[in-house]
Structure 1
Amino acid sequence: MLSVLVADDHAVVRSGLTYLINKQPGLRVVDEAATGTEASLRVEEGGIDILVMDLSMPPGENGLVTTKRLHDAFPKTKILILSMHDERTYINQAIKNGAMGYVLKSSPDTEVIRGLTVIASGKKYLDSNIKMTASDIDKINPDATDVELGSYQALSKREREVLPLIALGYSNKEIATKLFISTKTVEAHKANIMRKLDIHVHVDLVRYAIKHHLIEF
């Protein structure tokens, strides 16, 4: 039995997906998450074979960033993106960042089930309504370095979780509560983030996060 985590900011979507997935043999939803941060923390706890995740769960970290961070840290957890975004840039980047499947929310339920079945077998899956060109395939290069993010790559896994929350204006206490860590630990992560990114004031951190599409409002 494969354990599935459903992450979407709409409760009705999570409920519908959970009902649909639990009807399939060999699959069982063991938990739900409403934000990228919640999804990350749950994957960290272990026991998640497949993560079905929306790309847009504001306010919080950009779903494309969450996908890469989770794939880098937990490569055995297979990620299926379920999104309303059908733009090639989103699809290409999601696959490049480590998603094994991409399904459109506008597609019928059968696409979700087919996607889950295919990635569960270790293969990649794209919604049948998505037509990829040779140019698109060339852009999906898992070994490519994302120069655009620069020093962001130097941040630790936890620092990457803390950064979007700081940029969105959460207090140290609120961040500590969300991530189940102490306020002193949050302060230490914040200091390390600012130092590694060579940023000295909060407003510049916000500009950095927005410029590099690390957060959604």
Structure 2
Amino acid sequence: MTTVLIVDDQPIVRAGLTVVLDAEPDLSVIGQATDGQEAVHLASSLRPDVVCMDVRMPGMDGITATRQIVAEHGSAVRVLILTTFDIDEDIFAALEAGAAGFMLKGAQETAIAAAIHSVAAGGGTLDQRITQKVLAEFGRRRASPVPTPAALELLTLRELDVLDLITRGVSNAEIARSLFIEVTTVKYHVQSIFSKTGSRDRLHAALWGFRHHIGRVPE
């Protein structure tokens, strides 16, 4: 059972999400918060697997709350941003603060449930359609053709190749086919990239790559 904390300043949104998620046999909403400060408190006391976090709320906003939750709990409590905004500076800030991904509130119920499962499992958020769009915008703003010296010193040439493909949302199997290597070898390189860059998952590895000028913008 995956436990969920819902954070939103609108009662109707909290109630609607609770009904939707509790209808899933393997999801359980264990708490609701009306702002970021309450979210930080409940994340500590309830220790949910996933926090569904709104961005713009009175008092402490979702970005600040995400940063505090991630700093305190690391990957033990994962944050999924649920927002009414599509491409917005707040979203990039939330991802850099440690959010595991984000979805639009208008997404299908099944898509939101799938995103929660993906976040709880510690991966797969990069494959979400809306996350791809964010990464594309992030890449347009940050990427340049030449990796930074820090990246070249930190990662091997093969790891740079793998990270380039991760930034484009390519699966391990697709990376293996593209580079003519075994999937087990790809997994080894992916874990090495996570370790060297301090990334919690593929999404944050991709963001690290964009910050260090690795990868091309997804089409």
TM-score range, shorter chain: 0.5 to 0.7
Residue 93 of structure 2 aligns with which residue? Answer: 93
CA contact (8 A) 1:100 1:124 kept: no
Paired residue total: 142
CA contact (8 A) 1:115 1:125 kept: yes
| Equivalent position SS for 1:102 | strand
Q: Quick one: distance in 2 between partners of 1:137 and 1:100?
A: 20
Shift of the alpha carbon at 1:137? 7.5
**Structure 2: which 5+ residue stretches go unaligned?**
144-205, 212-219
**TM-score, normalised to structure 1's length?**
0.59
Q: Which has the higher helix share?
A: 2
| Equivalent position SS for 1:61 | coil
Deviations 1:155-186 (A, max 9, x none): xxxxxxxxxxxxxxxxxxxxxxxxxxxxxxxx
Residues 180-199 of structure 1: matches in 2 within 5 Å? none
Specify whether residues 92 and 23 from structure 1 end up closer, same or farther in structure 2 by C-alpha distance, changes over 3 A only: same
Specify whether residues 88 and 22 from structure 1 end up closer, same or farther in structure 2 by C-alpha distance, changes over 3 A only: same
Specify whether residues 137 and 125 from structure 1 end up closer, same or farther in structure 2 by C-alpha distance, changes over 3 A only: farther
Output the amino acid matched with 2:91.
I
Output the amino acid matched with 1:43.
A
Residues 50-69 of structure 1: matches in 2 within 5 Å? 50-58=50-58, 60-69=59-68
Residue 129 of structure 2 aligns with which residue? Answer: 128
Output the amino acid matched with 1:16.
G
Shift of the alpha carbon at 1:37? 1.0
Residue 110 of structure 1 aligns with which residue? Answer: 110
Shift of the alpha carbon at 1:136? 5.8
- Report the identity percentage: 29
What's the Cα RMSD here? 2.3
| Equivalent position SS for 2:98 | coil
**TM-score, normalised to structure 2's length?**
0.59
Specify whether residues 25 and 136 from structure 1 end up closer, same or farther in structure 2 by C-alpha distance, changes over 3 A only: farther
Shift of the alpha carbon at 1:24? 1.2
CA contact (8 A) 1:92 1:136 kept: no
Residue 140 of structure 1 aligns with which residue? Answer: 207
Deviations 1:35-81 (A, max 9, x none): 111111111114311111101111x0122111111111111101111
Shift of the alpha carbon at 1:100? 0.7
